[in-house]
A and B are shown apart, each in its own frame.
Chain A
């Protein structure tokens, strides 16, 4: 029996770089889950690591690891498909490797500082070197500059390669989208005492990333995935991509207003934000229709079943996490009570996992397949593929379970704290000690362990899948 080892000879220049990004992404994903579990446990046992590794530290690592592993996943995915799309080798690949190491060293330092220094005095030096104290973009200013440099190098590589090679609809959209994605980061890079203005710009980064530029980026990855795995028609897929861009930006840009209800900003945002954000689910429905239709039309015939399954999981996860869960609390009449409660956390988990974690996991499967020399990985593997099937199931059940548990706690909290208790110190804790709330958090923790189990299985599977399978060429008949 043949053993297909991981061999970088099987990869093109961009893909060799991509697997580096993917590898670090998996490690950071592990860190995210570990620190999420600790933070979740502190809700149930507040004395755990009290005064040593406090909730805010764990939460910072949890959500920062997430943002960074997803960015690594996106950069890796772009490098992965660039050569296929443009037909030429990446232009500045040396710089690509350089910026990979720069970014990785920076990330390691930032995490160590979060964990061991944790805080600083109220000076500019703290903001520059320790912690900026703003959710998701806590990274100190110096690290921000490093991130911007790496993003610029990455952008140069994409833009230069695309402009020299063949410009396709996918790479055209991808290039323009990356300009916006990197540019938006700058909106989060200055200090202001005015907390209203602070939050105004902060949402430019967070919302216009996840509900505009990231959505379009994964739209590009999806389009490429449908063409390569299923042989879908490029013309149709590209047309769909343009429709999705029009709908996503058409609704998502002004949908930003759903974060401007309560931060000091004027009342017209009730109308603008409520209306446009309520339209945001439309492109997400279109994406599901598109993915499922294309897959069905091609009879789900693919030589990479796990990747295919995760792409479908992405389409549905995006629709439910962002579209349904987002829509449920997006109108100001509801958001007045759900704003800043476990409701928000429920949506945040399903949306980030469903929309982004899923599609990057699909990329991991594309990567290991080719890295092993183009093996066929279907449902009928030698070990019947139990690992990928179980990790797919456990991860999705786990996150969905956490989402529902948090939703129940969130309902209780918006009722008892926000509506009745008036969101005072006392009102807050009346909601937190209510049995319905506590039960929700217990179930979140249980479902968190299931998620973690699924993740461990995923890593094991990625390291072993396809090792003993026939190469694609030999099994073309099926």
Chain B
């Protein structure tokens, strides 16, 4: 047996293969990343601009794509009754996101399905049926975030969210962030989500 003659057992061959395969895959990844980043910038079809919090958002079945997608209505439905400019909306949502990071919500909850599994997924929390009626939703969310222990539901689990010292102003910023997040097109995740009354009737 002459080792040098069998190409597939040669060290040099595999060294080169390793380098070329890695380089090729990396280039493809960069290329796809540029495309993806373009498609998920704020204000794109998939990730709406922050001022979407001025609108009514719902989550409806799309027969063409065969899953639920967020639907943003034409008519206004401003958060906390105050219509914001794009800059104001961005500032509010940004504050909300920074609170979410600073309070470490993601080590109990998942956002977009990533994070921890100790508490419900928050991707579509804004649209959750448990808030009852759209009329009371904003107030109920503020109450819950400020005093989660007093407003606990736990559905028989006894697992309560602790009081994280969230002020009213902070609660509003968090809710703005949650409302904006619910408008992101997540390819049908969560599946079969039964959203709060969406005024269709």
Chain A positions within 8 Å of B, measured between CB atoms, are 42-43, 46-47, 50-51, 54-57, 59-60, 118-124, 126-127, 130-135, 138, 169, 191, 193-197, 199-200, 202, 235, 238-239, 242-243, 245-246, 249-250, 253-254, 256, 259-270, 272, 336-337, 339-342, 344-345, 418-426, 428-430, 432-433
CB–CB A267/B121 < 8 A: no
How close is A305's CB to chain B, nearest CB, in angstroms? 30
Contacts of B124 in A (CB 8 A): 423
Inter-chain contacts of B181 with A (CB < 8 A): 195
**Minimum distance in angstroms from B104 CB to a CB of chain A:** 5
Q: A131-B102, A193-B97 are in contact. Are A265 and B157 (CB under 8 A)?
A: no
Say if the beta carbon of B94 comes within 8 Å of chain A. yes
**CB of B88 within 8 A of chain A?**
no
B150 within 8 Å of A (CB atoms):
no
In angstroms, how far is the closest chain B Cβ from the Cβ of A287? 15
Instruction: Please determine whether B192 and A253 come into contact, CB atoms closer than 8 angstroms.
Output: no
Q: Is B81 interfacial (CB 8 A cutoff)?
A: no
Contact across chains for A60 and B104 when beta carbons are under 8 A apart: yes
Q: B63-98: contact bitstring with A at CB < 8 Å (1 yes, 0 no)? A: 000000000000000000000000000100111111
A237 to B112, CA, bound (A): 42
Decide if B116 touches A262 in the complex (CB within 8 Å): no
Within the assembled complex, what's the spacing in Å between the Cα atoms of A138 and B184?
24
Nearest A-chain residue to B129, judged by Cβ? A424
Give the Cβ gap from A196 to chain B, nearest Cβ, in Å: 4
Given A197-B40, A336-B191, A420-B192, residue A59 in contact with residue B107 (CB < 8 A): yes
For B137-179 the 0/1 string (1 means CB < 8 A from A) is 0000000000000000111111110111000001001000000
| Contact present for A133 and B193 (CB under 8 Å) | no
List chain B residues, Cβ under 8 A from A418. Answer: 190-192
Instruction: Find chain B residues with CB under 8 A from A268 CB.
Output: 32
Instruction: Kindly identify which residue among A196, A239, A246, A432 contacts B40, using a CB–CB cutoff of 8 Å.
Output: A196
Inter-subunit contact B104/A119 (CB<8 Å): yes
Q: Which residue of B lies closest to A130 (CB)?
A: B102
| Residues of chain A lying within 8 A (CB to CB) of residue B112 | 195-196, 199, 262-264
Q: Which of B35, B104, B118, B185 is packed against the most chain A CB atoms within 10 Å?
A: B104
Most B Cβ at <10 Å: residue of A55, A191, A262, A267:
A262
- Give the nearest-CB partner of B45 in chain A: A266
A344 vs B41: C-alpha distance when bound (angstroms): 28
30 contacts between A and B (CB under 8 A): A55-B108, A57-B104, A59-B116, A121-B170, A122-B98, A122-B99, A131-B104, A133-B101, A133-B104, A133-B106, A135-B107, A135-B114, A195-B112, A196-B40, A200-B36, A200-B37, A246-B14, A250-B22, A262-B186, A262-B188, A263-B113, A265-B36, A265-B46, A340-B114, A345-B117, A420-B192, A422-B191, A424-B193, A426-B130, A426-B155
Q: Is the contact region of chain A dominated by helix, strand, or loop, or is it mixed?
A: helix
Nearest to B103 among chain A residues (CB) is: A119
Q: List residues of chain A with CB within 8 A of the CB of B40.
A: 194, 196-197, 200, 264-266
Q: In the bound complex, what is the Cα–Cα distance between A43 and B108 (angstroms)?
A: 11
Whether A424 contacts B128 in the complex (CB less than 8 A), given A46-B158, A119-B104, A262-B112, comes out as yes
Bound complex: CA A2 to CA B141 (Å)? 71
Say whether B191 contacts A120, CB under 8 Å: no
State the CA gap A69–B113 with chains docked (Å).
26
- Specify which chain B residues have a CB less than 8 angstroms from the CB of A196 in the assembled complex: 40, 46-47, 112, 184
Q: Which of B25, B97, B154 has the most CB of A within 10 A?
A: B25
Q: Is there contact, CB below 8 Å, between B130 and A119?
A: no
Q: Does any Cβ of A come within 8 Å of B1's Cβ? A: no
- Contact with A135, one of B21, B33, B115, B130 (Cβ below 8 angstroms): B115
Q: How far is the CA of A267 from the CA of B193 in the complex (A)?
A: 20
- The chain B residue sitting closest to A240, CB to CB, is B14
Q: How far is the CA of A50 from the CA of B164 in the complex (A)?
A: 12
Residues of A within 8 A of B25 (CB): 249-250, 253-254
**Cβ contact within 8 Å between B105 and A56:** yes
Chain A residue at smallest Cβ distance from B97 = A193
A55 to B162, CA, bound (A): 10
Q: Cβ of A246: which chain B residues have Cβ within 8 Å of it?
A: 14, 17-18, 21-22
- Given A51-B162, A59-B116, A249-B25, A340-B110 contact (CB < 8 Å): yes
* B189 with A339: CB separation less than 8 A: yes
Which of B41, B125, B157 contacts A432, CB < 8 Å?
B157
**Which 8 pairs of residues, A with B, have the shortest CB-CB distance?**
A133-B101, A122-B99, A423-B190, A429-B155, A56-B107, A262-B189, A242-B14, A340-B113
Least CB distance from A49 to B in Å reads: 10
Choose one: A242, A339, A422; the contact of B11 (CB below 8 Å). Answer: A242
Contact residues in A for B120 (Cβ distance below 8 Å): 423-425, 428-429
Complex CA–CA separation, A169 to B12 (angstroms): 10
| A133 contact set on B, CB distance < 8 A | 100-107
Which single residue of chain B is at the shortest CB-CB distance from A260? B36
Indicate which residue in A130, A242, A256, A270 contacts B18 across the interface (CB closer than 8 Å). A242
Cα-based distance from A197 to B125 in the complex (angstroms): 20
With both chains docked as a complex, state the minimum distance between the C-beta of A3 and any C-beta of chain B, in angstroms. 45
CB within 8 Å for A50 and B160 given contacts A169-B15, A260-B36: yes
Cβ of A256: which chain B residues have Cβ within 8 Å of it?
29
Interface assignment of B9: CB less than 8 Å from any CB of chain A: yes
Residue of A whose beta carbon sits closest to that of B28: A254
B102-A122 in contact (CB<8A): yes
Q: A262 and B118 in contact (CB under 8 A), knowing A51-B163, A242-B17, A246-B18?
A: no
